[in-house]
Amino acid sequence: MKRSVNVAFTTFTARLTATFTATFTATALVTAVAHADPTVPEPGVACGGSAGVMDGVQTFSPQHEVLECVKGSPMYVWQHLDDIQRPAVAWFTYGPAATLNRTDVVEGTRWTGFERGDNCTEEQTHVAGGAPATQAATGDNSLDFTVVPDMATMTLHGVCIWREDDS
């Protein structure tokens, strides 16, 4: 009888340990994924889960190559582009500022920046020079602005998704 109790106890202990280990491992993986740092876009790296929020968004990698978030299987991934797809209608900044030029966007278009972890700020310089026009996100974690007609450069800051309003 003592042997059967030990076996039952050992089996119970093994199942409990296996269940605990599996639960702990799954929890650790989910936590790591939920808090994964999306700040370093690289070709082939996930960029938007399976929801498509980042679909078509472009960015510069740390090596200054142009990437686009495209639908992969089973999730969206960063894909290398030879150059910016013009006109750019959606952009992602992840810390380092991204500067787009006059030929990269359409003047007069309305854009919105959506915070994904840090303050969204946009700055536009003018062809004629002068002080740049700068705006920061409001209390609702978004920023609406219009590309000025004489824009020379548009610099986007923060951890944000930037979209032309009609895109």
Residues 6+ apart with CB under 8 A from 127: 102, 150, 151, 152
Phi, psi values for residue 116, rounded to 5°: -120, 15
Task: Say how many domains are in the chain.
Answer: 2
Residue 46 lies in a domain: no
* 19 and 86 fall within a common domain: no
* 26 and 104 fall within a common domain: no
Q: What is the chain's pLDDT, residue by residue, as a tens digit (167 residues)?
A: 444 334 333 444 444 344 433 333 333 333 333 334 445 899 999 997 767 789 999 999 999 999 999 998 888 999 999 999 999 999 999 988 999 999 999 999 999 999 887 789 999 999 999 999 999 887 788 999 999 999 999 999 999 999 999 86
* 14 and 63 fall within a common domain: no
Measured CA to CA in angstroms, residue 61 lies from 10, 78, 92, 136, 145 at distances of: 52, 10, 10, 23, 25
* 28 and 65 fall within a common domain: no
User: Which domain covers residue 159, as residue numbers?
Assistant: 58-164
Residue 65 lies in a domain: yes
* 94 and 22 fall within a common domain: no
CA 22, 28, 34, 39: dihedral to nearest 10 degrees? -130
pLDDT at 73: 81
Residue 71 lies in a domain: yes
* 105 and 160 fall within a common domain: yes
